[in-house]
Structure 1
């Protein structure tokens, strides 16, 4: 059974849903915004906040975390702003999300081997482990550059 179907059965419509936080969404969108700025230019956080509809105070915290993790570089002063800490082709969605959320774990029993005394005999643990591995592979396979390119395609298709 494809992993999407497995997750659909585990998280049916109308029930509890597994989801990343708004912080993850805002972080990816902010990074896409910075990546779309012409080379050599600095992105201004108040402009990112406006374009991406992210509360300024929230964006300030996000930029701080992304900077600590080396995904952004900040410059202060009248001519200050932010730029990518490394090329967009070298930044993955997983790196962005984990910079602001910490390690991605679908279930508590996946945090460390042996965390749950049932993990070696539990068939559900195997499903969680496979689902997490597939999710992490997918997030690792999508770069910031991929997202920026895809956004341009979607905007062109939408006539935006």
Structure 2
């Protein structure tokens, strides 16, 4: 088992960073994002639907259409993006519902995994798209 975000969440993060880099109030054509980020247009469309539903991006159809952030990059956390696409973060099934496991009361791992999970969630929540923009290296 690999502990990693899905490809969809990775693509959503890359797409959101690309949109943010182009300016908060500027529409970016989805075909440009797909090409630049090397994401299938159909796959990106599905991801965008989820991001629109979560209120993270806005879209406009047509020749002058595109995608733009619905909020400032400082107001969008990595947690917002990842959980929109992947859902709740659980490193191991028992952290979601400890009572579902008959060994939870005596399990030495439950506390460790819950604390680890909480640290990851805190890091994702405290890191904004703006933070990532500031760390991003512009392509040469």
Picking from 118, 122, 134, the partner of 1:149 is 134
Question: TM-score normalized by structure 2?
Answer: 0.93
Give distance in 1, aligned partners of 2:8 and 2:62. Answer: 26
The equivalent of 2:106 in structure 1 is 121
Aligned residues: 140
Separation of aligned partners in 1, 2:9 and 2:24: 25
2:97 to 100, 104, 112: 112
In 2, the alpha carbon distance for the partners of 1:138 and 1:150 equals 15
- For residues 77-92 of structure 1, the aligned pairs below 5 Å read 77-92=62-77
For residues 113 and 122 of structure 1, what CA distance do their matches in structure 2 show?
Answer: 10
What residue is the counterpart of 1:54 in the other structure? Answer: 39
> Which has the greater radius of gyration?
1
Gaps of 5+ in 2: none
Match of 1:30 in 2: 15
Q: Using the TM superposition, give the Cα deviation of residue 148 of structure 1 relative to its aligned residue in structure 2, in angstroms.
A: 1.0
For structure 1, which runs of at least 5 residues remain unmatched after alignment?
1-15
Determine helix, strand or coil for the equivalent of 1:114. Answer: helix
Deviation at 1:113, TM superposition (A): 4.2
RMSD of aligned alpha carbons? 1.4
Q: Distance in 1 between the 2:97 and 2:69 partners?
A: 32
TM-score, normalized by length of structure 1?
Answer: 0.82
State the distance in 2 between where 1:104 and 1:20 align: 9
Q: Is 2:24–2:72's contact at 8 Å kept on the other side of the alignment?
A: no
